[in-house]
Amino acid sequence: MEFSGQYLTYNEFKGLGGTLSEMPFNLLEFEARKKIDNRTQNRIKYMNSKPEEVKLCVNAMINTLVQYVADSSKGINKNVASESIDGYSVSFITGSQVQEAIKSKKSELEEIMQTYLGDIRTSDNVPVLYLGIW
């Protein structure tokens, strides 16, 4: 599968110390790019050249997404919250705990975008993260 329009290339990612192989990188870069496009109303998508901050933002988002993937794949049963051996007791995660984890992930990714993209403006001086009315 060919990935085009990347905000951060695989070689740039490796240059920043990235350790993923190419296909997982491509999939996570695509996910990060779509989240950025959604949050910026595609303002970065149509920029002729992507500022350094965008590349660093994608890198930080990939590193965060990798952590969430790793955390969600730990354990045999992902629904088990805790286990005790002596009296054999198992606690399962609740729907609210799942929702809290999703909320935490979204919040962390939003914070990354605010940090890296907060000062970037389009050629017509509109902040890329702007969502309101002038």
Ordered DSSP codes for 22-38: HHHHHHHHHHHHHHHHH
85 by DSSP, 3-state: which? Answer: coil
Q: What is the pLDDT of residue 72?
A: 58
pTM of the complete model: 0.78
Rounded to the nearest integer, the mean pLDDT of the chain is 85
Q: Could you read off the pLDDT of 25-39 as tens digits, one per residue?
A: 999 999 999 999 999
- Distant-in-sequence, close-in-space partners of 46: CB < 8 Å, separation ≥ 6: none
Q: Which residues pair with 121 in a beta bridge?
A: 127
Average pLDDT of 47-76? 83
**Using an 8 Å Cβ cutoff, are 97 and 105 in contact?**
no
Give the type of residue at 59: N
Here the tokens at position 47 are 């920029």
Average pLDDT of 5-18? 96
Average pLDDT of 70-94? 60
